[in-house]
Amino acid sequence: MVKEQLAKEQPIVYQTLAHALKTNKLAHAYLFHGPKGTGKLDCACLLAQSLVCAHRDSDGFACEQCEECMRIKNQSFADMRVLDGSQESIKKEEVLKLQQAFHKTGLEHTGKRVYIVNCAEHATPEALNSLLKFLEEPAEDMNAILLAEQLDRLLPTIISRCQPIRFRPLSREACFALAKTQLPCLDAYLLSGMVHNQKGMQDAYESEEYQHAFYLFQQFQGAFRQSPYDALAMLLKEGMDGKKRDGKQCMRYFLEMQMILYKDLIQGSTLCEDHGYQQMLQSYQGCGYPYGAWLEILLETRDKLWKSVNLTLLCDQMIALMKEVL
């Protein structure tokens, strides 16, 4: 359930909202801000449910199971609207439509109306101005929940109309501990170094891109013991044939895994108890490879990944650079 996850992953957010719900002191507008993957949208949905649910728990949170809760979740609750800037920017017309719809009294028996603005920083300036007017005249029984990754891309006047609530990225250790309860130890370790929330780790684990990257990661170390050059060539041949899967995403996972390994080698220790992984580290130790230089090359490659159109070329360059410092 979302509320259990929220309590575990964002305890301060949980406490803040629970207090407001229990004492009936909810702000008219909240601004949830924090990095991607910290559960802001799930939490916004939970808060909306908690406004209308008749079966709230002792902390004031919704049951997440009743008919009202399900309709909020499926976005079929007439008095809830979502403006979503995650794919396309939010236009002024959408805000005006929302204003019109919410001008009348509520359609549902609860009388509560709520709107969520996802990725609020992706609204056009005109849309933000209209939204500002809307926020300035809060109606009784109407709540707004704005979500943003970067506060500095929102108008200060918008921020000042909302109560900001910060979502923090989970620590690596906390992520690893969470992931280990659901996933094999090594996967949990690698994923906790790349994604910072439980759902994100689970989704990644189930993706074909991650699974192929994991296969490559293991093949790569095996081949590397034979010959570093062959390993690099193997990567080029096997890795980036991305007809079915998303080659760039797969490459990103592979690079991240490899970076985690190099970081552990540089540090000389690891949190991961997986026997195979510890053997992998041992087999590298004392080889004197330039892990630091390789790490930098991988970092640069990862940064170029979304800018570069040609994956094979990028991979080629990376391998050439890695050979150069070998």
Binding site for Zn ion (CB under 5 A): 53, 55, 62-63, 66, 69
Helix (H) or strand (E) holding 235: none
Integer Cα distance of 85 and 89 in angstroms: 5
Least distance (Å) from Zn ion to the CB of residue 50? 8
DSSP 125-181: HHHHHHHHHHHHSPPTTEEEEEEES-GGGS-HHHHHHSEEEEPPPPPHHHHHHHHHT
Q: Based on CB atoms, which residue is closest to Zn ion, 62 or 272?
A: 62
Q: Output b/e per residue, 296-313; b: 16+ Cβ within 10 A.
A: ebbeebbeebeeeeebee
Q: How far apart are CA 263 and CA 86, in angstroms?
A: 33
* Residue 50 or 192 with smaller CB distance to Zn ion: 50
CB nearer to Zn ion: give 24 or 269: 24
Q: Which CB, 31 or 43, lies closer to Zn ion?
A: 43
* CB of residue 45 to Zn ion, shortest distance in Å: 12
Q: Which is nearer to Zn ion, 3 or 212 (CB)?
A: 3
Q: Cα 246 vs. chain centroid, distance in angstroms? A: 18
Residue 55 CB, nearest distance to Zn ion (Å)? 5
Minimum gap (Å) between residue 68 Cβ and Zn ion: 5
Distance between CA atoms of residues 256 and 259, nearest Å: 5
Q: How many CB atoms lie within 10 A of CB 249?
A: 18
Nearer to Zn ion, 50 or 258 (CB): 50
Q: Which is nearer to Zn ion, 67 or 246 (CB)?
A: 67
**Pairwise CA distance, residues 183 & 162, whole Å:** 38
Residue type, 138: P
Nearer to Zn ion, 54 or 266 (CB): 54
| 262 vs 281: CA distance, rounded Å | 9
- Give the shortest CB-72-to-Zn ion separation in angstroms: 8
Question: Minimum CB separation from Zn ion for residue 1, in Å?
Answer: 11
Nearest alpha-carbon partner for 71 in 54, 88, 86, 84: 54
Q: How far is the CB of 51 from Zn ion (least distance, A)?
A: 11
- Number of Cβ within a 10 Å radius of residue 68: 22
CB of 61 to Zn ion, least distance (A): 9
Contact 47, 145 (CB under 8 A): yes
Rounded to whole angstroms, how far apart are CA atoms 102 and 98? 6
